[in-house]
Structure 1
């Protein structure tokens, strides 16, 4: 017994962090409902996730699903020059999944009965005994614990810390995937067993293979990438973020919605600047999309019976590949604090908050420095161990 049998939890946001939280809270005895704002099942646009220990811990410790069935792996980290030459190579194993593969696996474990689509939280109130979440549909949900896992545009963060607003980094990430079997034999051989980097002045691209929608075998795998490119704030960025429908994006533009002229320019620049193998992947992407790279960190992650986790609390640039790991780490630490508090939710949140705030601050500081080195200072050096992926530090 944990002291939470019959207690209710509302998780706002049904993505990877929200589902991990919901599963752990249910294991503690909570009756858990997940509320996702989108009206249809989530689509991760095929993007890749680097599987760090916190990310995959649910499947390693609690699930009947085999984490190896959800992932691909590579044995090396390498840097390529303009002639596809390998200028630096380390043996370092990493594993990866695709956003959609991982999301579907977590949802399969949680189930859909208490996973509610089309519910956009717009407000929350609380007293000593419970919290009430209000939704734009008119729905209300009462709970003993409310966890906002609602991402970089978190309504929960705006309620707990209105001063915490998105700060644009000065660059965007172009993202996309290409079926590996569509690439040339030489490119498949060069990129297939490595995280590969092509570093150019004020920019770099990172590539690695991830599972496809139908499996992890060679015939299914996708080559995934993110290419960081500077775009000045103001009119230039604002124009770029107008999609083909005339709507303005705030944090991303979805596949198929980026104006063709920007896609054409991106492909031409890839051919002129990047290692040929990287340029081939970029050119072969049918529908690349754009992520606006921004920073935000709340000064609070807990208030009474309300908690923020993951990007809702602190959104870090992707350079450490630690966004999903941070959300999972927040969720596991929250479960530990609740277990120790034996039924006292506010006491658990007070105990949990300081370390998670510190974790977010350290991660944000490190990835901001990595971005500055790549995009502005030109000190992203092949083989520098401080540039490795990791939530708690380089390679960790």
Structure 2
């Protein structure tokens, strides 16, 4: 019999980290329910994910789905100059997926029977034997283990570490995707087999191809990018984050909701400062969107029968392409700790917490330094190995 047969677990947050956690807990025998606050299935806005080993481990080791059917790949990392000249190029293979593709694959493995939409957790309490989550709807869920994987605005983090705050980095990420086959042939030829960077004063953009909604073929793939641009805190940022409906975003503005004047300015600036191939992608984006780049880290990831993981515990800037890998690493380490704990869930969480806190702290320190180099110190140097992707440090 599995070690946790008939033991209940509740996962708050039905995104990639939450679903990975739920699948691993279910493999241990837990009866798992996932509660997602959005009322409809998540779509991820088509954003790209760099696939690091921890991210894809579920599909490599446990799933019947072939990870290669979920991903695209490139063979090079390159930096472009003002005339699309190649300033630096090295052979380094990376694979990618789109957020939506990966989410749907995880959900297909977990199923929808115990995946509950439209349930916004608002509080949690516990005694020696159980933890109880309360929802805005009035619903309550009791379990022997509660895992909050509810992202950068985590309710669980506010409970476990009410002193933690989100600190704005000083810049935002403009993001978007363009069907690769619609780009000029010379742009496809230049960027179709590489991660591409264009570095300019106080800014840089990263681009790479990801699967589209319909597959990974040449006419399905999307060119995905994130362009980091400085926006001072205060009135300028506040105005940018008011969407077309008059609502204020805190962590992002969705596609189609960014005010037209900001989109027009962004496209015009791209044409002026970025490598022409990068500017072509940016200008062709029908509905770019904005991610507010912030730092947050909880001083605690475990308390009794309650755990935080992924962005709920610590949210790292995207420069190391390690956010989803960190969430997956937390989930696998949690499963290992529970396996070794012989049914003692609080003891497992105590054993699991220190290493994951350290991993989050090291990742956050690294990406903060990378961001400072790019956005404020102008020391993001093409080819510098310290600037490579990697959860545990730059991949050598």
Q: Give structure 1 regions of 4+ aligned residues with deviation exceeding 2 angstroms.
A: none
1:357 pairs with 2:386 = no
**What is residue 111 of structure 1 aligned with on the other side?**
111
Say how many residue pairs are matched.
Answer: 396
Contact 1:49–1:99 under 8 Å retained in 2:
yes
Cα distance in 1 for residues equivalent to 2:43 and 2:315: 20
Secondary structure at the aligned position of 2:213 is classed as coil
Cα distance in 1 for residues equivalent to 2:63 and 2:388: 29
Structural RMSD (CA): 0.5
Contact 1:48–1:96 under 8 Å retained in 2:
yes
Cα distance in 2 for residues equivalent to 1:172 and 1:124: 32
Alignment of 1:198-213 (within 5 A): 198-213=198-213
Secondary structure at the aligned position of 2:77 is classed as strand
| Offset, 1:354 | 0.1
Cα distance in 2 for residues equivalent to 1:150 and 1:118: 13
Cα distance in 2 for residues equivalent to 1:134 and 1:237: 34
For residues 56-106 of structure 1, the C-alpha deviation after alignment (integer angstroms, 9 at most, x for no partner) is 000000000000000000000000001000010010000000000000000
Contact 1:81–1:87 under 8 Å retained in 2:
yes
For residues 119-176 of structure 1, the C-alpha deviation after alignment (integer angstroms, 9 at most, x for no partner) is 0000111011010000000000000000000000000000000111100000000000
Cα distance in 2 for residues equivalent to 1:57 and 1:11: 20
Secondary structure at the aligned position of 2:106 is classed as helix
**What is residue 142 of structure 2 aligned with on the other side?**
142
1:309 pairs with 2:342 = no
**What is residue 252 of structure 1 aligned with on the other side?**
252
Cα distance in 2 for residues equivalent to 1:56 and 1:347: 28
For residues 24-62 of structure 1, the C-alpha deviation after alignment (integer angstroms, 9 at most, x for no partner) is 000000000000000000010000000000000000000
Alignment of 1:64-213 (within 5 A): 64-213=64-213
1:5 pairs with 2:5 = yes
**What is residue 19 of structure 1 aligned with on the other side?**
19
Contact 1:77–1:89 under 8 Å retained in 2:
yes
**What is residue 49 of structure 1 aligned with on the other side?**
49
> Runs of 5+ in structure 2 lacking a partner?
none
Alignment of 1:367-378 (within 5 A): 367-378=367-378
| Offset, 1:2 | 4.3
Cα distance in 1 for residues equivalent to 2:142 and 2:251: 30
Cα distance in 1 for residues equivalent to 2:242 and 2:124: 32
Cα distance in 2 for residues equivalent to 1:394 and 1:371: 14
Secondary structure at the aligned position of 2:44 is classed as coil
For residues 156-201 of structure 1, the C-alpha deviation after alignment (integer angstroms, 9 at most, x for no partner) is 0000001111000000000000000110000000000000000000
- Taking structure 2 as the reference length, the TM-score comes to 1.00
> Runs of 5+ in structure 1 lacking a partner?
none
Cα distance in 1 for residues equivalent to 2:268 and 2:147: 44
Cα distance in 2 for residues equivalent to 1:342 and 1:225: 45
Cα distance in 2 for residues equivalent to 1:389 and 1:395: 6
For residues 351-396 of structure 1, the C-alpha deviation after alignment (integer angstroms, 9 at most, x for no partner) is 0000000000000000000000000000000000000000000017
**What is residue 296 of structure 1 aligned with on the other side?**
296
**What is residue 29 of structure 1 aligned with on the other side?**
29
Secondary structure at the aligned position of 1:199 is classed as strand
Secondary structure at the aligned position of 1:40 is classed as coil
Contact 1:2–1:343 under 8 Å retained in 2:
no
Secondary structure at the aligned position of 1:237 is classed as helix
Secondary structure at the aligned position of 1:45 is classed as helix
Contact 1:33–1:115 under 8 Å retained in 2:
yes
Cα distance in 2 for residues equivalent to 1:123 and 1:70: 36
Contact 1:78–1:197 under 8 Å retained in 2:
yes
Cα distance in 2 for residues equivalent to 1:85 and 1:229: 23
Cα distance in 1 for residues equivalent to 2:279 and 2:162: 42
Cα distance in 2 for residues equivalent to 1:154 and 1:167: 15
Secondary structure at the aligned position of 2:228 is classed as strand
| Offset, 1:3 | 2.6
Contact 1:2–1:342 under 8 Å retained in 2:
no
Cα distance in 2 for residues equivalent to 1:344 and 1:3: 11
